[in-house]
Amino acid sequence: MVIALQNGNYEEINLISTYNRKPSIMTNVPIIELQGISFSFSPDSPLILKSLDFKISEGKIGLIGPNGCGKTTLFHIIMGLLRPTAGKILHNGTHVRSSDEFKPLRRDIGFLFQSSDDQLFSPTVLEDVAFGPINLGHSVNEARQIAESTLEKLGMHGFEERITHKLSGGEKKLVALATILAMEPKLLLLDEPTNNLDLDILAHLTDILNELQLPFVIISHDWDFLAEITTALYTLENGQMLKCKEDHIHEHRHVHPYGDRPHHHNE
């Protein structure tokens, strides 16, 4: 639960209901389906992704794999920032190829970049968060209300007039997430959101993601974080998506020097 401004009063609300955008007609068509996706950066370089098939429609999915295996590349392909060497991307069952066809996809999918500085560009926090709603056709006043409400729900009341580039790395990460949630996406792609976060911001982000009733795929090397927020774990190996066994998702409990302190685990 978080405290938010509702009808002129501060009330306790649940992010699950706030961001739960149930479609009016339930279908079995995934939001995103990848069919036979292959990718290399040049004709002479090896394939990073090899005839990869994957569907995303619900659940909270963790994606692991060594650096350079193609995790971020996969997200960029889904968003149309990179074009696959072969294969199809389907959005709600429709094959998307052109820039115009990717626009509805980008409306439905919120992509949190690994570096918040790549996502935030306005002078103030409020302007950054309101930018998306304005581009969706909301008036300036409506966009401001949406931005203020979104920041409130993320526990960031009072940040509206803060200068974005002067925020801490963790604060920038939360503002970047707010810019996405303000657009009411149906799916989130989160690329290494816990990088360089202090313990307080990490705990706050964990609470936010646990309360959101939105499907997401999250790239992370932090196994303990993934154990807390995901319902399924996949690994990207040899260009393929492989589902890990359920017992691979667990909280680490062990003894080593300084083991009584929260810490990070690499793969």
How far apart (Å, rounded) are the C-alpha atoms in residues 63 and 82?
19
In tens digits, the chain (267 residues) has pLDDT values of 333 334 444 344 444 344 444 443 445 899 999 999 999 999 999 999 999 999 998 899 999 999 999 999 999 999 999 999 999 999 999 999 999 999 999 999 999 999 999 999 999 999 999 999 999 999 999 999 999 999 999 999 999 999 999 999 999 999 999 999 999 999 999 999 998 899 999 999 999 999 998 999 999 999 999 999 999 999 999 999 999 976 545 444 444 433 443 444 544
Domain residue limits, the chain? 29-244
Question: What does the CA dihedral 89, 85, 219, 94 come to, rounded to 10 degrees?
Answer: 0
Judge contact between 220 and 64, C-beta under 8 A.
Answer: yes
Element (H, E) at 107: helix 99-108
Alpha-carbon span 235 to 237, nearest angstrom: 6
Level-2 CATH architecture, domain 29-244: 3-Layer(aba) Sandwich (3.40)
Give the span between the Cα atoms of 153 and 94, in whole angstroms.
Answer: 33
* pTM of the shown model: 0.81
